[in-house]
Chain A
Amino acid sequence: QITLKESGPTLVKPTQTLTLTCTFSGFSLTTSGVGVGWIRQSPGKALEWLALIYWNDDTFYNSPLKKRLTITKDTSKNQVVLTVTNMDPVDTATYFCAHVESRYKQYFDLWGRGTLVTVSS
């Protein structure tokens, strides 16, 4: 059974760096084709894909945010970490991590419950 769970601060100040961790079980990020992505959702808004990392360390980012995002993995801990620099109130959102089963089919078949991050001074 695949599960994912996001963790990190619930409140950050403007200009700070946000670090979120996705801890997963039921699969390995050493398995060919597998990936983990991050998606966020501002309150009452639509879903916005942020970044994705694959088993082979290939990474992809949403271009407008690319300069502020870094996604990494720690296969020994079954974790994927997303950092977002220079946080702004508009970055207030629920951040989800999700599993991708195939290198060539980037839909998200299983999601974590999400973690709400508020940016405020």
Chain B
Amino acid sequence: EKAMTQSPATLSVSPGERATLSCRGSQTVYNNLAWYQQKPGQAPRLLIYGISTRATGIPARFSGSGFGTEFTLTIDSLQSEDSGVYYCQQYDDWPLTFGHGTKVEI
């Protein structure tokens, strides 16, 4: 199993600042990495797939980078509606696995 580890567990940032979230794989997942945002009581929403491709309707302030085992989700000019928990997911191999999430507080 390719375990995904996210850091930090919680990130407190002010509006307008930049947030940097990390996701590390126990083995390489190449470019098969997605990011999701989840708000309380809601389903996750796909933000990024293929490391850096934004999903439909996702603002340009969300960007992804990295390769292999180290990945980053960057949120520029944070807005209040960006608060939530962010998960990374690898889809390089079975079983599909998610990280434990980073909670972004604004």
Q: Does B62 contact A (CB under 8 A)?
A: no
| Complex Cα–Cα for A70 and B66 (A) | 35
A46–B46 contact, CB under 8 A? no
Residues of A within 8 A of B50 (CB): 105
A to B CB contacts below 8 Å, 12 in the list: A46-B87, A46-B101, A47-B36, A48-B98, A49-B95, A49-B98, A60-B94, A62-B95, A63-B94, A105-B32, A107-B46, A108-B44
Residues of A within 8 A of B94 (CB): 60, 63
| Complex Cα–Cα for A37 and B49 (A) | 17
| Complex Cα–Cα for A110 and B46 (A) | 7
Contact bitstring A105-116, B, C-beta under 8 A = 1, else 0: 111111111100
The bracket for how many chain A residues form the interface is 20 to 34
Chain B 57-73 interface residues, beta-carbon cutoff 8 Å to A: none
A46–B100 contact, CB under 8 A? yes
Q: Does B12 contact A (CB under 8 A)?
A: no
Spell out B's residues near A (CB within 8 Å).
1, 32, 34, 36, 42-46, 49-50, 55, 87, 89, 91, 94-101
B91–A106 contact, CB under 8 A? yes
Chain A, interface SS category: strand
Our pick among A46, A62, A98, A109 for the contact of B99 (Cβ within 8 Å) is A46
Contact bitstring A35-60, B, C-beta under 8 A = 1, else 0: 00100000000111100100000001
B87–A47 contact, CB under 8 A? yes
B96–A111 contact, CB under 8 A? no
B49–A105 contact, CB under 8 A? yes
Residues of B within 8 A of A62 (CB): 95-96
